[in-house]
Amino acid sequence: MTKKNNKAKKFQEMSYREVQRANSKERSKLQKEDQRWLKDNGYRNVGWDNIINLHEKTKEFLDKYQLKDLTIEELFLEADRIGNKYLTSQEIENFNQRLSKEVEGINDEIDKQFPDTEIEIIDFSGKTNNSSRNNYNQKSHKIVKF
């Protein structure tokens, strides 16, 4: 009598049918031209190799959509995050120090170009016009700009 091996094949902790269901759900999220491209290029939801290839390609398309919706600032942050994976902690620290010096220089130049000529004086001695509430613990002050 021979023993049958009952170990089910899994892909990312999912069975064959679960991967098929996930592929169908994810494929419906794709744009129509991308769905058509998958069909034209032979990506099918039948057979282990095919469902795995379809799963990975669908994930690629969905990742591309996420990058498409990012603002320019988010794109720069993502590029910085990816770039930092290939740097040592010392290189990152050196870059951050140089960046800090550059930002400080830019701030100084902005202050030279656009000086703050408005003077603010804070007067803690006088009473304010806020008579709606007499709270003895509340401190009041007024700001006078020249």
134 is a domain residue: no
pLDDT in tens, 85-107: 888 989 989 999 999 999 999 99
Copy the structure tokens of residue 30: 């794709």
Residue 106 sits in the same domain as residue 120: yes
Residue 101 sits in the same domain as residue 146: yes
43 is a domain residue: yes
Whether 134 shows a pLDDT value over 60: the answer reads: no
Residue 115 sits in the same domain as residue 52: no
Residue 53 sits in the same domain as residue 83: no
Residue 40 sits in the same domain as residue 81: no
54 is a domain residue: yes
86 is a domain residue: yes
Give the count of domains, the chain: 2
Among 70, 69, 56, 66, smallest CA distance to 27 is for 56
C-alpha angle 95-90-67 in degrees, rounded to nearest 5? 55
Domain range for 64 is 16-68
Whether 126 shows a pLDDT value over 60: the answer reads: yes
Residue 51 sits in the same domain as residue 110: no
pLDDT in tens, 28-64: 998 899 999 999 999 999 999 999 999 999 999 888 8
133 is a domain residue: no
Residue 85 sits in the same domain as residue 145: yes
Tell me how crowded residue 34 is: count the other CB atoms within 10 A of its CB: 18
Residue 50 sits in the same domain as residue 61: yes
Residue 102 sits in the same domain as residue 145: yes
Residue 99 sits in the same domain as residue 146: yes
Residue 38 sits in the same domain as residue 107: no
Copy the structure tokens of residue 38: 């998958």
What average pLDDT does the segment 23-27 reach? 93
d(CA 70, CA 102): 27
Residue 57 sits in the same domain as residue 110: no
